[in-house]
Amino acid sequence: YAPSVLKPHVRDLSVALVLASLFDREVNCRRAASAAFQESVGRQGADNFKHGIAILTTADYYSLGNRTDAFMKSALDIAEFEEY
């Protein structure tokens, strides 16, 4: 979809994907949510997803592999962004 079509839904979508990528119990779900967020940032533009690139570098494939690190480290770093 064009960025203009999804713009009204981007905030809710981005928050849901970030929460799932950080706090889901299953590693595969965390990684899938992170991949979906990455794809959305790439397709919709980093301007539509606030702090998208910074979040992607914080919550990457490897950092989400360990539940404790995802909960206690990545989540705290991303919580500094007001939108999330």
pLDDT on residue 46: 82
For the chain, the average pLDDT equals 93
Contact predicate 46/53, CB 8 Å: yes
Query: With the CA atoms of 55, 81, 37 and 2 taken in that order, what torsion angle do they form, in degrees rounded to the nearest 10?
Result: -120
Average pLDDT rounded to a whole number, residues 50-71: 92
pLDDT on residue 2: 87
How far apart CA 51 and CA 48 sit, in angstroms, is 9
Contact predicate 38/54, CB 8 Å: no
pLDDT on residue 36: 95
Instruction: Select from 54, 31, 44 the least CA-distant residue to 4.
Output: 44
Local confidence band at 50 (pLDDT 50, 70, 90 cut-offs): confident
